A = this chain, B = another copy of it.
């Protein structure tokens, strides 16, 4: 059974040596070129591919998400995650950065792919799948964006998962707002991912200004986890992690003893 493909022709076209560490397309053989010329990918129906971005920050011990009011149907005038269709010449990362820039005004943001949502029927326009992304940004930059801002409440513990509730605190009803499409589920997946990364990556690096107090870092962790953490142990763990470096200066304009400011050390490659 194993031998069938070993007996085939010796992989024509001089591709045997290439290490293929890069993602470049190999030069096709004559046979393959002829095949590709006659090949029509559009012989089969294709879905539309969208990109949605969950832009998160931490402020006042809570998670906030950047939203966008839809100007067109479907879900016209409803709040949604910033999103749009991937262009045919873009990578997903490029599409996500374009959308973040166009709909929230952020340049140069930390961005990571999250999950692809593709339930048939998730979009009334037809077959639309969306590759959701997560972006993290510090509160000061977040607040400077004109996007509507939603406060997130997570109704499940740990990394259980599920949709989350979003509140717009300005005034009005204090019940969760409705988001377009399956965006509450996407948000839930984003929070779950963030909680999972918290213990293993210096996630605060993206959510805090360059210099910050240990208390501010602890606030970030508590907001993401949705529960309090032990202060003593947290300090010890962070200082022992090797990710932090004391600056020697201290915070100002506080009504209590000013805490020392730290910065993240960029981890050297191993």
Interface residues of A (CB under 8 A from B): 1-6, 8-9, 11, 15-16, 18, 20-21, 23-26, 28, 31-32, 35-36, 39, 41-42, 44-49, 69, 72-74, 76-79, 85-92, 113, 115-116, 118-129, 131, 146, 148-149, 157, 159-160, 163, 168, 170-172, 178, 182, 184-185, 200, 270
Contact = CB atoms under 8 A, between A and B. Distances in A.
Contact of A45 (B69, B88, B124): B88
Contacts of A125: 36, 39, 41
Given A69-B4, A178-B18, A119 B88 contact: no
Tallying the copies of this chain within the complex gives 2
A47 to B, nearest CB: 6
Given A116-B116, A270-B160, A73 B146 contact: no
A92 B73 contact: no
| A interface: dominant SS | loop
12 contacts: A2-B168, A6-B172, A16-B178, A31-B73, A32-B73, A36-B74, A41-B48, A49-B49, A86-B118, A90-B120, A91-B120, A160-B270
A48 B72 CA distance: 26
A54 B223 CA distance: 35
Looking at A45, A46, A77, which has the most chain B CB atoms within 10 Å of its CB?
A46
B119 A91 contact: yes
Nearest to A183: B20
B122 A185 contact: no
B2 A126 contact: no
A74 B32 contact: yes
Given A15-B178, A23-B182, A73-B32, A170 B6 contact: yes
A69 B11 CA distance: 12
B6 A119 contact: no
A263 B108 CA distance: 49
A157 B1 CA distance: 33
Given A49-B49, A73-B31, A11 B78 contact: yes
Nearest to A20: B178
Contacts of A1: 146, 148
Contacts of A25: 121-124
A270 to B, nearest CB: 7
